Amino acid sequence: MAVEQNASLAYEFKKGLWQDIAPFRLVLGLCPSLAVTNSVINGLSMGLATLGVLFVSCVIVSFVRKLVAPQVRIAAYVVIIATIVTVTDLFLQAKFPPISKALGPYVPLIITNCIILARVEAFAQKNPVLPTMMDSLGTGLGFTFALIIISIIRELLGFGSILNIHILGSWFRPWIVMILPAGAFLVMGGLIATVNYISHRSEARQRAG
């Protein structure tokens, strides 16, 4: 019984990392994954901020899941999320002012990040606290991971650097388009296609084997 439970907890954690990785597979949370990924540091801090909000909101919703009337649940969840985002925003402003400035209005926009409401609605409101923790951690880490990949590609091609450290030599002419909005869409399209390619191939291999 205990082993079974552990296995299912591990599954809840792992599924968000690849099988259901939010921006690529479920097309959720697109706004932040495109808007703040022009440098790795922005992508990383956005990912971590979202992870924190996701984790705390899911845990709170899981705790109060039997107290909230189903008719008003969405409104109640949105207020919970908005409160936590306010706290996060104030925390960033106090402790990391440069990051808070770089992310700008995209911190409050975490409220309308569909990943959070989707996880709350689909998982946290039906499950006890422990699986909810694993689920939100996995989803949040998967989201952070996706943001880091997108921002590494964009910063490398757009500035020739990663985390502000120049990697490519002076021969490299930055692709300005990668920092512009258009580049974000193109990188995202390419990455979704790559994820599709990998999963199509592993499906084909499974069928053959």
Minimum Å gap between C-beta 18 and another protein is 17
CA 87 to each of CA 104, 111, 119, 133: distance values in angstroms, whole numbers, following the listed order: 15, 12, 20, 20
For another protein, give the closer residue by CB, 148 or 192: 192
Pairwise CA distance, residues 209 & 201, whole Å: 12
For another protein, give the closer residue by CB, 69 or 165: 69
For another protein, give the closer residue by CB, 23 or 131: 23
For another protein, give the closer residue by CB, 44 or 134: 44
CA 151, 136, 190, 33 dihedral sign is negative
Minimum Å gap between C-beta 162 and another protein is 22
| C-beta separation of 43 from 162 below 8 A | no
* Exposure string over 54-67, b if 16+ CB within 10 A, otherwise e: bbbbbebbbeebee
Minimum Å gap between C-beta 170 and another protein is 27
DSSP designation for 29: S
Minimum Å gap between C-beta 166 and another protein is 26
Pairwise CA distance, residues 39 & 47, whole Å: 12
For another protein, give the closer residue by CB, 21 or 133: 21
| C-beta separation of 92 from 100 below 8 A | yes
Nearest CA among 159, 186, 155, 181 for reference residue 170: 159
Pairwise CA distance, residues 104 & 87, whole Å: 15
Minimum Å gap between C-beta 111 and another protein is 6
Minimum Å gap between C-beta 62 and another protein is 20
Which residues of the shown chain bind another protein in the complex (CB under 8 A)? Answer: 27-28, 30-32, 34-35, 74-75, 78-79, 82-83, 85-86, 89-90, 104-105, 108-109, 111-114, 117, 177, 180-186, 188-190, 192-194, 196-197, 200
